[in-house]
Amino acid sequence: MRVPSRSVSSPLLVALLGLSGVAAGSAAAAPSPGAESAKDRIYPTIGNGGYDVQHYDLALDYRPAAKRLSGTATITARATQDLSRFTLDYAGPAVSAVTVDGRPAPVLRVRRTRKLRITPPVPITSGAPFVVAVTYAGRPRPTSTAGPDEGFIPTRRGAVVTSEPVGAKTWFPGNDVPFDKAAYTLRMTVPRGLDVVGNGVLRSKVPGATGTTFTWVEDQPLSTYLMTANVGRFRVSTSTGPGGIPIYDAVAPAAAEQTREEGGIAAQPDILAVFSKRFGAYPFTTSGSTVFDEPALGFALENQSRPTYSSAPDASTVAHELAHQWFGDAVTLRRWSDIWLNEGFATWAQWYYDAHRKYYFPTRANLRGVLRIEDRAFWNVAPAAPRSRAELFDGAVYFRGAATLEALRGRIGDARFTTLLRRWYAEHRAAPTTTRQFTALAEEVAGRDLTPFFRAWLYAHRKPAKRFR
Ligand code: ARG
Ligand code: ZN
């Protein structure tokens, strides 16, 4: 989808290039290479300029016994400049062929920045759609840039696919930044008896000579890190959520009993109803989960429309991942350093759900709990200004981030706070967001300057002073 790109039409540039007064369109510069970075401060090598991805079609085959992933990724994009060449983020198995618009194209693998540099046989015209197909095969290797493994993680009998923040490139080539959202089709063949769980809707499940092919379609644009292709043996159940939303749950048999005991999956319809009422209508047309029996992996991820849990989740964890559907999946980051817009919001929503169902304390008690933390290292992390990958998913991003929202609720009142969350979701779904946009909207809704408040909560490397609590 379209990404706002920096304007290159400054008067100075125009003057320097001697283009002033030349009719638009007739001054076409020679095609040039697309940028090889989106200038993300935390991940300076991710992202690629000169195009905007519209659709990913991943036609893959996975053999768990050999841990071999093979197939073709077909990417439909639109050029945003005249392109002589361009790059894709990629850190997956060996590439055997690349075509652009059906014609073979030379490719260079740039290991240092984890890119494929592709030269189309003829330059691509700005505004034109084009199709890149990349064929690859081999053993995918997850990466680890911010703690746990990211990407395509082979397990004993399948694969856990959890790519936040930059692991999508370990299993398919693309523009691996959160803000270049695109529709997604997964066609994956696995040995008979195994299941594949993707995002969106299961279009078909077709038995063939080499296994079963699952086709999953997510036509609501999503970020690459939210795409999944979980493989395993699952018990599948389908049900209906509020407003008739279809819910598709795939639970590993070994996790089935604990899934019932924890109750998180059964709570999905209630959680969706509570959040739809509080934040605005659920953003997608389907929901559900994949639940593995891989407790050692110890994570949950908010894959769009269908979160993944490494083991049976409780209702509070499910509330967190479903809250991300509004905040993180529908409302999208422009850059990773604003991650508190995802994690602080999902954690606050988790507090809200817990309180709402009276399973736990009122949200205010959670703020007091956070303020009781005396650990200097905790308060040294500023939620909206992480200094490294290690700080991206620090506890402070989650808990101080959520405490920021709760303190804000106390300051501006529950009615204005509710309006703020609803407007943040309704008005910022369309384009990638930043912390500044959120604080500006908060000031607009509050009708007053909140600079010192946000400085203390989001940017200072110490506990906020009493007057901000
Ligand atoms: N977004 C996930 C959550 O719901 C956490 C992902 C953690 N990833 C990481 N690399 N630490 O909290
Ligand atoms: Zn989260």
Residue range 339-468, CATH number: 1.10.390.10
Q: What is the pLDDT along the chain (469 residues), one digit of tens a residue?
A: 544 443 333 333 333 333 433 344 445 579 999 999 999 999 999 999 999 999 999 999 999 999 999 999 999 999 999 999 999 999 999 999 999 999 999 999 999 999 999 999 999 999 999 999 999 999 999 999 999 999 999 999 999 999 999 999 999 999 999 999 999 999 999 999 999 999 999 999 999 999 999 999 999 999 999 999 999 999 999 999 999 999 999 999 999 999 999 999 999 999 999 999 999 999 999 999 999 999 999 999 999 999 999 999 999 999 999 999 999 999 999 999 999 999 999 999 999 999 988 766 789 999 999 999 999 999 999 999 999 999 999 999 999 999 999 999 999 999 999 999 999 999 999 999 999 999 999 999 999 999 999 999 999 999 999 999 9
Question: Which is nearest to 229 in space by CA: 216, 238, 247, 211?
Answer: 216
Q: How remote is the CA of residue 27 from the centroid of ligand 1, in Å?
A: 47
Index of the ligand 1 atom closest to the CA of residue 146: 10
Sheet of strand 182-190, all strands in order from the earlier edge strand to the far edge: 103-104, 94-100, 129-138, 68-79, 51-63, 182-190, 211-222, 201-208
Per-residue b or e along 17-53, where b marks 16 or more CB atoms closer than 10 Å to that residue's CB:
eeeeeeeeeeeeeebeebbbbbebebbebbbbbbbbb
Taking the CA of 300 as reference, the closest ligand is 1
Output the CA 376–ligand 2 centroid distance in Å.
Answer: 23
Which one of the ligands is nearest to 386 CA?
1
Q: pLDDT of 372-427, one tens digit each?
A: 999 999 999 999 999 999 999 999 999 999 999 999 999 999 999 999 999 999 99
The predicted model scores a pTM of 0.94
> What is the structure's pLDDT at 14?
36
Burial environment of residue 156 by CB neighbours within 10 A (0 to 12, 13 to 18, 19 or more): exposed
Q: Please state, as a whole number, how many other Cβ atoms lie within 10 Å of the Cβ of residue 83.
A: 25
Ligand 1 centroid–CA 418 distance in Å is: 26
What is the residue with the minimal CA distance to atom 1 of ligand 1? 301
Which residue, judged by its Cα, is nearest atom 8 of ligand 1? 164
Q: Is the peptide bond before 165 cis (omega within 30 degrees of 0)?
A: yes
Distance from Cα 229 to the centre of ligand 1, integer Å: 17
> Which residue intervals of the chain bear CATH 2.60.40.1730?
13-326
Give the Cα separation of 274 and 346 in Å (integer). Answer: 14
Measured in angstroms, how far is the CA atom of residue 1 from the centroid of ligand 2? 24
Cα 11 to middle of ligand 1, angstroms: 43
Give me the residues paired with residue 251 across strands: 235, 291
Residues 322-340: tens digit of each pLDDT: 999 999 999 999 999 999 9
Pocket of ligand 1 (CB under 6 A): 146-148, 150, 164, 299-302, 320-321, 343, 393
Of the listed ligands, the closest to the CA of 347 is: 2
Mutate to test the pocket of ligand 1, among 150, 162, 301 (most ligand atoms within 8 A of CB): 301
Residue 220 CA from chain centroid, whole number: 13
Q: Compute CA 239 distance to the chain's CA centroid, rounded to the nearest angstrom.
A: 25
- Give me the CATH code for the 13-326 domain, please: 2.60.40.1730
Which ligand sits nearest to residue 313's alpha carbon? Answer: 1
Secondary structure of residue 336 in the 3-state scheme? helix
Check if the beta carbon of residue 51 is closer than 8 Å to that of residue 83.
yes
Ligand 1 centre to CA of 302 (Å) is 8
Where do you find CATH 1.10.390.10 in the chain? 339-468
- Ligand 1: nearest atom to the Cα of 302: 4
Give the C-alpha separation, 46 to 416, whole Å: 37
Q: How many CA atoms lie within 13 A of 469 on its CB side?
A: 14
- Residue 2 pLDDT: 44
